Structure 1
Amino acid sequence: MLNALSIDVEDYFMVSAFESKVSRNDWTRYESRVERNTLRILDMLDEHGARATFFTVGWVAEKHPSLIREIHRRGHELACHGYFHSLVYNLTAEEFRGDLRRTRKAIEAAGAGPVIGFRAPSFSVVERNMWALDILLKEGFKYDASIMPAKHARGGLRGADRYPHWIHGLAEFPMSTAKLFGKTLPFSGGGYFRLFPYQLIKFGMEQSNKRGKPAIVYVHPWEFDPDQPRIEA
């Protein structure tokens, strides 16, 4: 079974949990570590002959175009992750459309493309803003990976289809979840990878594979940084 690895390319100070503490106007005041950490991931992928999709923040693509070219050169796909890592349900439809276009333009201008995929920051496509999928389709995107079919701190769509499917004319690749004691449990990346025991993650991936479905997982470059600066939040 071929599983799917994705990387959400953002710097440590862009995390949604820091929005109330770190203004995007101050981002340039922080030490950027996204390039070195992403290169570390690229080297590990090369070592194992693996390929991944890199959902990239547009601001990062503009500040580090050589990194975008390097990801592309090593044979990986690049896709959109919002320009400022803004939660989609906090945007109007027109703001989202503009954000989407700006992000794709930044990635393609750096030398990677065409860009056909999108993932909402913090899985922020939820029941009240499913219109985002219609905009993606109208803007020429082919797939979305924004839906977390379980409760999530800032997103999540409980009751959503747990496996790849078609929705609003797009191919949807939801994050993998596990069924445990009648509950739908997210496990497939980010904080779940950092906090959950390995056996639980393995159980979740095997549960998907036994159904003939790929496990779809995600990580962030800053999660590979043992010296990540600390931010009071």
Structure 2
Amino acid sequence: MSQRCSNAMTVDVEDYFQVAAFENQVQFADWGKKYEVRVERNTERLLALFDEHQAKATFFVLGWVAEHCPQLVRRIVEQGHELASHGYAHQRANTQSRKVFHEDVYRAKSFLEQTSGVAVKGYRAPSFSVNADNEWVFEVLAEVGFTFSSSTYPVKRDLYGAPDWPRLKYRRPEGIIEIPLPTNTSTGFKLPIGGGGFFRLYPYQMSKLLINRFITQTEQPFCFYFHPWEIDAQQPRMQGIPIKSRFRHYLNLGRMEQRLVHLLNDFEWNTVSHAYQLNGLSNEQNNFN
């Protein structure tokens, strides 16, 4: 039987052309010009699905998306979800200087708060790009006013990973509460099971089993993540991208929404602040105005 404790549903609100896998093919200046903006309609579909299944989520919204779709940001908050930041321009934190990172997260946080009227307390780094080489990220997050983060994945991947870092929620020395993405360790190595491309790769019953096992073994909520473009099988196909990137991005897009429906039926989902009992950190309790 599936566990009915409250888990954290998280959505990284970015468009299909903004992903790190396409950063060498897509220029920032072409965002919204050369490439069709589809993130609003896809996120609206997710809002409808969450409402249908009485689920709440934390939306880590890209600052660029918030600027171009301000009504979407307001609808997220109006429907009782938690608004959080994904930075402004989807630049990986481990490619930025401290100064550039500060400017990026400050700009995004300020615009999200001004648009929504609520305080934004949560942050997720694009591509989980925080590791031992840029731990100063947490100092900047504290300086800017964030209180929690979900920016690390304790696995080894080509674009991200902090395999030796904690697997479960913990408080950083800087005061930031960090919520790593879930992994499975029953095979002797850390298997990424937090969502995204791996959720589209694994058969659903395998994902369900691994989620239940994580909850039972750790006695912690499960933090699931994905992107609005993952339910959009009709999105334009990028040309000239590497085979590996093409496989990762387009794998099983047509099956994602139905798998998400199964997930919403089989588990109880809420915001990060609610699932992890981060008292006083939710948008509902922190009006910005």
1:126 positional shift: 1.2
Q: What one-letter code is carried by the residue in structure 2 that aligns with 1:180?
A: S
In structure 2, C-alpha distance between the alignment counterparts of 1:136 and 1:200, rounded to whole Å: 35
Is the aligned partner of 1:6 residue 2:3? no
SS in 2 for 1:3: strand
Deviations 1:182-221 (A, max 9, x none): 0110011110011112233123211221121111110100
Q: Does 1:165 align with 2:181?
A: no
TM-score in terms of structure 1 length: 0.97
| Alignment equivalent of 1:148, drawn from 153, 175, 181 | 153
Match of 2:55 in 1: 50
Give the Cα–Cα distance (whole angstroms) in 1 for the partners of residues 158 and 143 of structure 2.
29
Greater than 4 Å deviation, 4+ residue runs: none
Q: Paired residue for 2:223, among 216, 223, 233?
A: 216
CA deviation map 1:101-157 (0-9, x unaligned): 100112112124200110000000111001101111121111010010111231110
Q: 1:26: which partner in 2?
A: 30
CA deviations over 1:141-178 (Å, ceiling 9, x no partner): 11010010111231110021111111131111110111
In the alignment, residue 18 of structure 2 is paired with which amino acid? M
Letter in 2 for 1:128: D
Gaps of 5+ in 1: none
Q: Tell me which of 99, 104, 110 is aligned to 1:99.
A: 104
Aligned to 2:205: 199
Instruction: Return the match for 2:124 from 119, 122, 138.
Output: 119
Alpha-carbon offset, residue 24 of structure 1: 0.5
Q: Distance in 2 between matches of 1:159 and 1:200?
A: 25
Q: Which residue of 1 aligns with 2:181?
A: 175
Q: Does 1:187 align with 2:193?
A: yes
Contact 1:37–1:224 (Cα < 8 Å) also in 2: yes
1:153 and 1:66 map into 2 onto residues whose CA distance is 35
Partner of 2:138: 133
In the alignment of these two chains, the number of paired residues is: 233
Identity of aligned residues (%): 43
* Worse overlay, 99-108 or 8-17: 99-108
Matched, 1:225 2:270: no
Q: Where does residue 72 of structure 1 map in the other structure?
A: 77
Which has the higher mean CA deviation after the structures are superposed, 57-66 or 168-177? 168-177
Question: Gaps spanning 5+ residues in structure 2: where?
Answer: 242-289
Matches of 2:47 and 2:143, distance apart in 1: 32
Matched, 1:16 2:20: yes
- 2:40 pairs with 1:35: yes
Name the CA shift for 1:16/1:112 in 2 (closer, same or farther; >3 Å). farther
Q: Which residue of 1 aligns with 2:282?
A: none
Please list the CA deviations of residues 41-70 of structure 1 after superposition, one character each: whole Å capped at 9, or x if unmatched: 000000011100000110000000000001
Question: What does residue 109 of structure 1 align with?
Answer: 114
Q: Contact 1:16–1:85 at 8 Å: present in 2 too? A: yes
Q: Counterparts of 2:158 and 2:17 in 1: how far apart (Å)?
A: 18
Q: Which has the higher contact order (CA 8 A, sep 6+)?
A: 2
* CA distance in 2: counterparts of 1:154 and 1:46, whole angstroms: 34
